[in-house]
Structure 1
Amino acid sequence: MNFHQLIPQVDSIIQGSSSVDEKLLAICTLLEANVEYYNWVGFYFRNGDKEELKLGPYVGAPTDHTIIPFGKGICGQVAVSNQNFVVPDVSAQDNYIACSITVKAEIVIPIFVNGENIGQIDIDSNTPDPFTEADERFLEYVCAQISKILS
């Protein structure tokens, strides 16, 4: 399924009547089930006033990384940089936190509410270098929609 086909489904989830966490989990499930190379899809959010991220809803293998300090790993770097981070080969990253030996690539896109980076979507792939600009634009759209339910 291509990204254009997923947009109405994302919109439908966002506009639904379920709780925020249920909507986030539904988005994780939708993306993991419909994008072949999305093998782990989850959200991390700023943990109150602390300089750390806390794991939110996700789909995929369990992870021990429920708290990530700002600056640590790809997610922690995005919390500081406020920029998308696409990693074609995780083994080439010095500051990568390994969640699974099967993960080959990662993409992290920040979520902004009122101009503030409050969290991010994190996607791991077991496929080397699968992410394109189309993934970035689609995930930016997803994050923009999610920001509406978090503000």
Structure 2
Amino acid sequence: MIFETLKPQIETIVFQTEKTINERLLNICELLEKHVAYYNWVGFYFRNGLKEELLLGPYVGEPTDHTVIPFGKGICGQVAVSNKNFVVPDVSAQDNYIACSITVKAEIVVPVFVNGENIGQIDIDSNTPDPFTKEDERFLEFVCAEVAKIL
């Protein structure tokens, strides 16, 4: 599976201390978008200080107007509240979905925890209907745990 070959590459990126955190996060986004065919938009959102909102961090894919997302709004905002992974096989079936592009068919969001606190998340959109599996979830949990080491 592609995920096993990507794990050491994620670890390498995380420990490239000559790069800024944002450069490393962007490199992770680029790696995932390039090597997982159905990852069409890959980005990070982070809590905005003490405010109950998320700010867009590094990402790759189509530009988005959703640079600030209130807690509870959309898939990302729901993950900020629930602290749980959220896999959406069909975005059109979600009432509380923020449409980024008409081409997006599915989404997966996995929180990033630092010292037990949900400080952000990785968000992936796919133009493929229902592509995400438990393997995607486990892999993205690994990615988020690696990212947490540098935040």
State the TM-score, normalized to the length of structure 1.
0.98
Identity rate, percent: 77
SS at match of 1:74: helix
Equivalent-residue separation in structure 2 for 1:87 and 1:75 (angstroms): 11
Cα distance in structure 2, aligned partners of 1:25 and 1:6: 15
Unaligned runs of 5+ in 2: none
Amino acid at match of 2:119: I
| Cross-structure match for 2:5 | 5
| Larger CA deviation: 14-23 vs 127-136 | 14-23
Alignment of 1:60-79 (within 5 A): 60-79=61-80
> Aligned runs of 1:70-149 on 2, under 5 Å?
70-149=71-150
Alignment coverage as a number of residue pairs:
150
Distance 2:118 2:97 in 1: 20
**Aligned residue in 1 for 2:55:** 54
Q: Which amino acid aligns with 2:111?
A: P
Code of the residue aligned with 2:87 in structure 1: it is V
* 2:24 pairs with 1:16: no
- 3-state SS in 1 of match to 2:150: helix
* Displacement of 1:109: 0.1
- Counterpart Cα distance in 2 of 1:51 and 1:134: 30
Secondary structure of the structure 2 residue equivalent to 1:130? coil
Structure 1 residue 32: Cα displacement: 0.1
Shift of 1:50: 0.5
Distance in 1 between residues matched to 2:99 and 2:147, nearest whole Å: 27
User: Any gaps of 5 or more consecutive residues in structure 1?
Assistant: none
